[in-house]
Structure 1
Amino acid sequence: MAIIKLSAIERRRLSAFITCLVVAILAWVFTALSNPYKFTVKQIISFKNAPQKRAFHPLQSDTVNTIVQGSGWQMLFSRMNDDKKVIEVDLHTLENRNYVVLSSQLKQINFKKQINNEIIAVNPDTLFFDFSSRRVKKVPVKLITLLKYQKQFAQSAPVSIKPAFVTISGPAEILSKIDSWETDSVVLNGLNESYNARVKLRPSTEGNLEVLPKSVMVNIPVDEFTEKTLEIPVKLINNHNYYDVKIFPQKVKVTFTTSLTKYPDTNEDVFEAVADLDKWKLGGYSVLPVKLTHIPSYSKIVKVEPRNIDFIVKK
């Protein structure tokens, strides 16, 4: 392989040439990017001053293409910046017509934009709206959660949401499809104590739908759970012919989990265990299965001993 050997003078000349070439390219790029350009930027529409007496529904997408005039640097940074760009559209003219002309609002739109990054046109330039009578409806709040508890901890009582209902107002045809309103997701890991916080409601995706309030107070009771065993008397049901029936044993041992707070007050009165005599009369069973029909809320049954009981029928 041939190797070109350069003298010290030739190396200095080559180095000077490369340096001048790089400087020339950088100067050309700098000059090119300093020139004014027109370029397209997709932006999200945000509405303000919505009419209070008219419910509206946009007939087009919530994004528009804006023609922006700015330097090459601004165009470059616009391409590199992935942040959502928003333009604010004033809807006060919808009080007496069903469209908004964006070109008539460019001055106030640009007032909130960068001075050298001016919007000169919007496509589409006119936004059209469909109108209907405004209605008001109350719907329950639906809490969205993804909860993971620490070992031996769990929810110990019903979740409290205040207020439990929100008021939504908008077109009747949209309100008829809404039965509840969701919160933002509450995601918690290793939960070992009660959760109390203000949670935001999910924003409306409809520009003409208003939801009040915007947030609710949420309480999720959490407690440590432990096992407890009680002897529960078995109640005989469906003894239609009033047979004289003796059951053995008359009580079953029920092992269950309960919160430490409720542990002292949880007794056999909050349980009900039954044996169905129809299992023998109609099904021919030789033993009767025991079924728990009442258990404390938020408790879990670990085991029941025995699961079946013997019986004697005296006709």
Structure 2
Amino acid sequence: MPIIKLSVSERRRLQVFITCLLLAMAAWVLTTLSGAYHFTIKQVINFKNAPQRRAFKALQSDSVEVTMLGTGWQMLFSKVNTYNTPITVDLHTLEHSNYIALNTQIAQLNKTTDAKHRIVAFTPDTLYFDFTNRVVKKVKVEPVLDIKYQQQYEESGKIQVKPSYITINGPGNVIQNIKTWKTDTLRLTNVNDVVSTTLPLQPAKEGNISIYPKSVQLRIPVEEFTEKTLRIPVKLINNPHYYNVKVIPQYVSITFTVPLSRYTEVDEDFFEATADFSLWEQGYSVLPVNITRIPAYCRIVKTAPRNVDFLVRK
């Protein structure tokens, strides 16, 4: 049973009161959030117009705290990173200075924002840089590949990268340690044809290093492979005393994969099998067979036998 019993007219007046109260609170919130406020957000720094004759390295973090002037709504949404976009700082004055005063660029930066959302100040307000000699160097491109081929298909030749070398530009103490430059990872599955594509290079991790070009042309020859078996002679090596040695057997059979387009042209002359006689002096009673010459587009599947006997005639 309700503690307070209200008549119909009283309940109606109470509902009106609560409705008016909620409307008043909503109006107050809207009025409050429409006002102007200062608030701080953290933003990442990007650089443009880097000096061409000086290599630089920032001596502080790549982000700054930005004091903004905006509405209460903008302050509210800034908490969920609505306005956390990069700040682009112009570095053209580094040609004759060792620091950048961010507050001198506020007017320029505000031209890219709406009139009700303005930058007021930065913390820190000055960026300092360390300078070294700028070095230009050419390095080899290293493609990063994750390719799965369809059954019986494989890479059938040398991967072509154009250009195979790129130019990097940056501080000498950093550039000297860079030997190669990697591409983004190329991921492909069920490949059964030639791969020809443009592959971007990985971006520089440091803002004071530039690369050119930023992408390369990649070509991977792909063909269908099949197996072939040949019988090739075993060549004895490392016999400095010229012992009279007979290898048993004198021939081995090799099974290998070869592209269909080259099946008929590949014969015994493309391969060489050797047995190292110096192993006899180390106590070996049989000599392992090594395939020491093989076309780049072939893959050995099996060698039979793997070891050979030998007789030394004195």
TM (normalized to structure 2)? 0.88
1:9 Cα deviation (Å)? Answer: 6.3
Partner of residue 138, structure 2: 138
d(CA) in 1 for partners of 2:19, 2:136: 72
The secondary structure found in structure 2 opposite 1:226 is: strand
1:106 Cα deviation (Å)? Answer: 0.5
The secondary structure found in structure 2 opposite 1:173 is: helix
1:115 Cα deviation (Å)? Answer: 2.2
| Residue correspondence of structure 1 range 199-278 to structure 2 within 5 A | 199-278=199-278
d(CA) in 2 for partners of 1:32, 1:105: 31
d(CA) in 2 for partners of 1:300, 1:74: 64
d(CA) in 1 for partners of 2:6, 2:266: 96
| Cα distance change, pair 154–18 in 1 and its aligned pair in 2 (3 A) | farther
1:244 Cα deviation (Å)? Answer: 3.5
Residue 108 (1) aligns with residue 108 (2): yes
Partner of residue 308, structure 1: 307
The secondary structure found in structure 1 opposite 2:289 is: strand
- Per-residue deviation, residues 82-138 of structure 1 (Å, max 9, x unmatched): 685111212222222211111111010010122211011111111112222222211
Partner of residue 193, structure 2: 193
| Residue correspondence of structure 1 range 1-315 to structure 2 within 5 A | 16=16, 19-81=19-81, 85-285=85-285, 287-315=286-314
1:36 Cα deviation (Å)? Answer: 1.6
| Cα distance change, pair 270–71 in 1 and its aligned pair in 2 (3 A) | same
Q: Which moved more, 1:73-82 or 1:86-95?
A: 73-82
The one-letter code sitting in structure 1 at the alignment partner of 2:216 is: V
Identity of aligned residues (%): 52
| Cα distance change, pair 7–228 in 1 and its aligned pair in 2 (3 A) | farther
The secondary structure found in structure 2 opposite 1:261 is: helix
1:243 Cα deviation (Å)? Answer: 3.5
Does the CA-based 8 Å contact 2:41-2:84 persist in structure 1?
no
| Cα distance change, pair 189–37 in 1 and its aligned pair in 2 (3 A) | farther
Task: Structure 2: give runs of 5+ residues left out of the alignment.
Answer: none
1:20 Cα deviation (Å)? Answer: 4.3
Q: How many residues align?
A: 314
Task: Structure 1: give runs of 5+ residues left out of the alignment.
Answer: none
1:218 Cα deviation (Å)? Answer: 1.4
Q: Which moved more, 1:148-157 or 1:228-237?
A: 148-157
- Per-residue deviation, residues 173-193 of structure 1 (Å, max 9, x unmatched): 222222222222222233322
The secondary structure found in structure 1 opposite 2:33 is: helix
d(CA) in 2 for partners of 1:156, 1:4: 91
RMSD: 2.7
